[in-house]
Amino acid sequence: MANVKTKPAGVLPASWYSTRAIYELERRAIFAKHWLLITHELRLPAAGAYAKFTVAGYPFFIIRDKQGELNAFLNVCRHRAFPVVLQDEGVANILACKYHGWSYALNGKLAKAPRFDAVDGFDKSDYGLFQIHLRVDQRGFIWVNLDAAPEPEVKWEEFFDSVDTQGRLQAFDMKNYRYDHSWDMDGEYNWKTLIDNYNECYHCSVAHPGIAKVTNLESYDVKTTNGFIEHYAESKGDPADAAGNVAPTFVFPNASITMT
């Protein structure tokens, strides 16, 4: 790509990276409406396995029920909005709120509400956990959509059709993978700063010398398709080597998948 002439690119106003009002707008218009890539089904292998998350201030968890189905729920009890799941991940037979003792089945249905049996007109079926739209793609990755409507306004296919069927992904058999661990990294920066950084490799030769050793950075290129960006670069060694068999993909708005 060294001989390709480029035009100057515009940038977003700096205030868009630091203004609270902009962030709140993004929460409502993006994170509360679009499909979000969260984790992989290998992380939740058995009934009762769960993991909790917070994205843009929205707390939720994903759990596998006794029928083997994956479900996502807002992490708030229907009584006083206390968190139902407190640990980052684990295995549960029932979901019990530690505030007033309300408990829920793994499918989110209210199982017990102490002393509410005598409340006139109270129907447990009306007080299950708030369910979140969930989708598992062909590679086993789990996506959620926080839209409160019965059907999400934004369709998964509109942004991510073919993200899980890229030709280069055929080199990776998910049967050969297992969930190993997760880790968190905190930083004082706006979420768009991280995304801007991921989707350019101008910094790679300086900040990532290890990548420069195994990759021909002059060949670096990207392919944009609706809501995702495929990253490509030629290996300096045998393409069959592990270093050359890498498939990074950015998915809007705030996640990426790197298959290797």
Question: Given pLDDT bands bounded at 50, 70 and 90, which one contains residue 238?
Answer: low
Closest CA to 76 of 131, 38, 27: 131
Question: Given pLDDT bands bounded at 50, 70 and 90, which one contains residue 244?
Answer: low
Answer whether residue 9 is part of any domain.
no
Residues 37/163, Cβ–Cβ less than 8 Å: no
**pLDDT greater than 50 at residue 243:** no
Answer whether residue 210 is part of any domain.
yes
The CATH number of whichever domain residue 24 belongs to comes to: 2.102.10.10
Give pLDDT tens digits for 114-150.
Answer: 999 889 999 999 999 999 999 999 999 999 999 999 9
**Non-local CB neighbours of 115 within 8 Å, separated by 6+ positions:** none
**pLDDT greater than 60 at residue 1:** no
Give pLDDT tens digits for 2-11.
Answer: 556 677 778 8
Q: State how far the alpha carbon of 257 is from the alpha carbons of 20, 62, 237, 252, 254, in Å.
A: 29, 19, 23, 11, 11
pLDDT over 70, % of the chain? 95
Cα dihedral 171, 174, 178, 184 sign: positive
Mean pLDDT, the chain, as a whole number?
93
**pLDDT greater than 60 at residue 29:** yes
Answer whether residue 123 is part of any domain.
yes
| C-alpha to C-alpha distance for 224 and 12, rounded to whole angstroms | 19
R_g over Cα of the chain: 22
**Matching residue, tokens 């209210």:** 110
Give pLDDT tens digits for 202-221.
Answer: 999 999 998 888 889 999 99
Closest CA to 176 of 87, 82, 259: 259
**Matching residue, tokens 């991280």:** 194
* Interval 50-61 mean pLDDT: 98
Answer whether residue 1 is part of any domain.
no
Answer whether residue 68 is part of any domain.
yes
- Proportion of the chain in helix, strand, coil states, percent, rounded to 5: 20, 30, 50
Answer whether residue 163 is part of any domain.
yes
Determine the 3-state secondary structure of 26 from DSSP.
helix
Q: Is the peptide bond before 253 cis (omega within 30 degrees of 0)?
A: yes
* Interval 168-177 mean pLDDT: 94
Higher pLDDT, 25 or 215: 25
Enclosing domain of residue 70: 14-259
- Predicted local confidence at residue 185, as pLDDT: 87
Closest CA to 72 of 107, 45, 37: 107
**Matching residue, tokens 């009762």:** 48
Question: Given pLDDT bands bounded at 50, 70 and 90, which one contains residue 236?
Answer: confident
- Predicted local confidence at residue 241, as pLDDT: 56
Determine the 3-state secondary structure of 250 from DSSP.
strand
Number of domains in the chain: 1
